A = this chain, B = another copy of it.
Amino acid sequence: MTRLLIGNDFNEDLFTRIAASWSVQRLAWFAQDGDLLILPVRPEEDFLSYVTSLTGTRRSAIEVVVPAAGRAGEDLLTADRLADPAFLTALRRALAGRPVTEVLALWPDSSVATLARALGAEHALPGLGFAAQGGGALANSKAVFRALAAGCGVPIPAGAVCTTPERAASAITELLDADAPVVVKQDYSLGGKGNEILSRIPGIQPIGARRALTLTGTSGVGDYLDERWAELSRNGRDPVVVERYYPGSTSLFAEYLITDNGVEFGGTGEMIMAPLAKAQVVPAQGLKPDTAAELVEHGRRLCVPLHAMGYRGRLSADAILSHDGELFFTEYNGRVTMSTHTYAVVGARLAGLEHTDDRVVVERIWPDGWSARSFASAVAALSEAGLAYDPSTRTGVVFSSALDLRDHSIMQCVIAEDMRRAAAYEPRLEELFGPGGTASRTDPTGKENAACS
């Protein structure tokens, strides 16, 4: 078994990620003995050793290959880097004649299909044809999502897919006139950062969006679109989604693996939004049994057209549960998401959720100023404090990301029996990694810690 794991990210033509080199290192959680990991930058050895020791993969049995920096630098695994002849030579050398048994990429880009072909490994990449012909964009477009969801009977908020500002004005006005707030979404943005909320009434908190605007009168909508249409539509390249917004709703997801054989359920979770995603809980907690079943069944239904279209890989179906208990789906993500390793590795294997449901995983996504001096010192501090994950109890804290070298932040998963016990870790972790924490980048006086690299 020789698999190629590719730490690429959202297609640079669709959306520009900044410094993705840090976040795509989560690829290490999927590594098994024999794998070649292709990453935009070389991960810290401390991070690789830590992750493999937890997953039981032998560090010596995996290899990391990093192509030379590309036209856009070294943060993203762009098409030019994956097609670089020197990289292909290095890859063939690392393979040493072993056939590639599977190609697994975080994002279904056509450059991954090109790479598989260059290696004679077409059959090792499920969904090659779809990815090769630009299908990845279809499996990650909020506009395509709405057509497919409406087409297969999955509930979505009232709204429209708008290819012109006139259509958007009419859709926004119709919702505002019905006294509903509106969320306006860029087709390909991530984590709510391309979303804006519009309302006739002030005071709406922009949860899952970057801001909330109060519009009054009809000219308000026109003025808003005059100012914002070019950016929302990327100068007319993408449609813009207009949807009814439900204040006070809960953000949920259900994730699946789509294979040649069909659709496998992966896991559920909740995104804690305040205002943008700052934590996730796996599996989703406290849902009524009917709601939980509806989340999983509708999510599965959404996978059916993607399976028929030829997409293969992970699909996250995102939904909101309104204050009134109504479930609406709001987007899908046909890629390995920031939740996949959380439920499929940390959750399923470390917390034991593949066999039982007696654990919950709570992951801080945006660390809010929490930091560590180095990855190794963070691991040591956690052990000394007695907070590290313990396989015998299936509880404790796991660092789920590499250290982000820009601000020394690091993502942490608390595995506990329930939400109450998970919350009990919070103050103890804050003492270590919070602003001024003893293991943080800054000491209690706010001065940068001497050991900081």
Contacts and interface: CB of A to CB of B under 8 A. Distances in A.
A65 interface: no
A391 to B, nearest CB: 41
B152 A134 contact: no
A314 to B, nearest CB: 16
B133 A160 contact: yes
Nearest to A110: B160
A419 to B, nearest CB: 36
Interface string A235-250: 1110100000000000
Interface stretch (A138-146, A211-219, A359-367, A442-450): A138-146
B237 A148 contact: no
A135 B151 contact: yes
Contacts of A236: 235-237
Contact of A151 (B13, B127, B153, B167): B127
A112 interface: no
A130 interface: yes
A305 interface: yes
A304 interface: yes
Contacts of A143: 133-134
Contacts of A79: 167
A311 interface: yes
A132 interface: yes
By secondary structure, the A interface counts as helix
A380 interface: no
B308 A304 contact: yes
Interface in A260-312: 304-305, 307-311
Contact of A146 (B134, B304, B307): B134
Contact of A308 (B134, B152, B167): B152
Contacts of A163: 13-14, 134, 137
Contacts of A235: 235-236
A85 interface: no
A164 interface: yes
A423 interface: no
Given A134-B163, A153-B310, 6 more contacts: A13-B164, A127-B151, A130-B150, A137-B163, A148-B310, A305-B308
Interface of A: 13-14, 79, 110, 127, 129-130, 132-135, 137-138, 143-144, 146-153, 156, 160-161, 163-164, 167, 235-237, 239, 304-305, 307-311
6 contacts: A129-B147, A133-B151, A133-B160, A134-B161, A152-B308, A235-B236
